[in-house]
Amino acid sequence: MQQWKCTVCGYVYDPVEGDADNGVPPGTPFEELPDGWACPICGAGKDLFEKI
């Protein structure tokens, strides 16, 4: 699965790990994150992430 990096703070979303602190289970691809999901570090929206 493809990882995505926040262009604001550098946080990397890894779909293998998910984002348990924000209710995203492991195995969730970036494209399937909820519309309201934001970077857990800086709050940037999904539109400010890029594939790495």
39 is in an annotated binding site: yes
The partner residues of 49 in beta bridges, in order of sequence, read 6
pLDDT tens for 13-32 read 999 999 999 999 999 999 99
12 appears as a binding residue in the annotation:
no
Q: What is the pTM assigned to this prediction?
A: 0.92
Tell me if 37 is assigned to a ligand binding site: no
Structure confidence at residue 33 (pLDDT): 97
4-51 under CATH 2.20.28.10, yes or no: yes
DSSP-assigned states of every residue in the chain: ---EEETTT--EE-TTT-BGGGTB-TT--GGGS-TT-B-TTT--BGGGEEE-
Please tell me whether 24 is known to bind a ligand: no
